[in-house]
Each structure stands twice: as C-alpha cells, then as structure tokens.
Amino acid sequence: MRLYKTTSGDTMKKKEEETGSAEEALAAMGLSVDDVTAAEERLEALGSRRYKESDGRICVCGHAVSRHTVTNGIVYCKPSRMECPCKKCRPVITAQDTRKFLRKTSGAGPFHALALGMLSHVKEGLWVKWIDPPKCDRCGADTKDVVPVPVTQQGTSVQYPTGFDALLCPKCRVEV
C-alpha cells in the first residue's frame, strides 16, 4: 500500500487523500466499497449486533451490557466462560470496571450477581451508580430494600439464574 505524504498545509487536500486511501486499502484486497456496503447491509438484515464495547452500564442480570449480544431479537449474555440465561438486557447501574461483573446468581439480594459485582467494587474502592434510583418492579415502592431477585417467567422467586431478574421490595418478594 502506498502512503500519502502531505506536501502542503492544505488540510482540505489532506482529508481528500485520506478518504481515497481507505478505498485503496479495500481495493488492495480486491474489494470495492460497494462489495463491503452490500455485506454490511446483509449483516444488518440478519439482525446481529453487539452492544457498545466501552459502555459502563451493567444489566440487571449483574453483567456488563457490553457482554450481551442480540441475534434475531434473542439476547445472549456471556460475561466469561460462564453463560448467563439473561433474556432481556436492562441496564440499571453504571460501574467503573464492568469487567469485574462476572459472578453467577444463586439467589436474591446478596446472592445475586448484581450485588456480588458491586461488592467487588466496594473492595477495591471503585464507584458504582444507579442509573435510576431502584424501585420495586411490581408495586413501584422506592424503599431502601429493593433487591434483585431471579424469578421464573410466572414471577415466582427462585434461587438460580432464570434470565428474568426483577427488582423487588420485601413485600412483593413474599406475595408472588
């Protein structure tokens, strides 16, 4: 590939040359801009996309939004070697180091991946912020003891990851 050198201080000209060189870089592989545009459209039509990489948000499942992918409307959450059954990516907090949100849910509140991920931040003096103050998903109460709870599709709270996580107040946790 040829490298362009700017001979004058003409920034307009420089910009044109840089635009040209990206096309040339593709042409060096025998690809035209049209070829790649067609491929991109095809990929978009397949409905596969990844959430933004450097996104500080954490889903209610307790894992980074950036670890979620959506293919044909189906969510996949893969925080590490472990797979999480998360069915719907719902960001609830932002965290300083999303890579530390890797735990597995084994119950409500302190046993939930979201709380365990927050604990990793407490231990290292990192910050975590709620995007919106936590509110009960069922009754709307914004008391201080709303916790993440793994629930079945029918809404029963269980002790294992279901892919459905709700933020619930103590009253709604018992009444399901």
Question: Where along the sequence are the contacts to Zn ion (CB under 5 A)?
Answer: 59, 61, 63, 77, 84, 86, 89, 136, 138-139, 141, 169, 172
Encode 64-84: b = buried (16+ Cβ within 10 Å), e = exposed: bbbbbeeeeeebbbebeeeeb
Q: What is the CA radius of gyration of the chain?
A: 23
- Which residue, 5 or 81, has its beta carbon nearer to Zn ion? 81
Question: Six-digit token pair at 20?
Answer: 């040209």
CB of 2 to Zn ion, least distance (A): 46
- Which residue, 89 or 147, has its beta carbon nearer to Zn ion? 89
Helix (H) or strand (E) holding 117: helix 113-124
CB of 55 to Zn ion, least distance (A): 13
CB 52 within 8 A of CB 69: no
Handedness of CA 135, 148, 139, 55 (dihedral sign): positive
- Which residue, 26 or 158, has its beta carbon nearer to Zn ion? 158
CB of 11 to Zn ion, least distance (A): 45
CB of 75 to Zn ion, least distance (A): 7
- Which residue, 21 or 155, has its beta carbon nearer to Zn ion? 155
CB of 20 to Zn ion, least distance (A): 43
- Which residue, 63 or 112, has its beta carbon nearer to Zn ion? 63
In the chain, which ranges are E strands? Answer: 48-50, 57-59, 68-71, 74-77, 91-95, 128-130, 147-150, 165-168
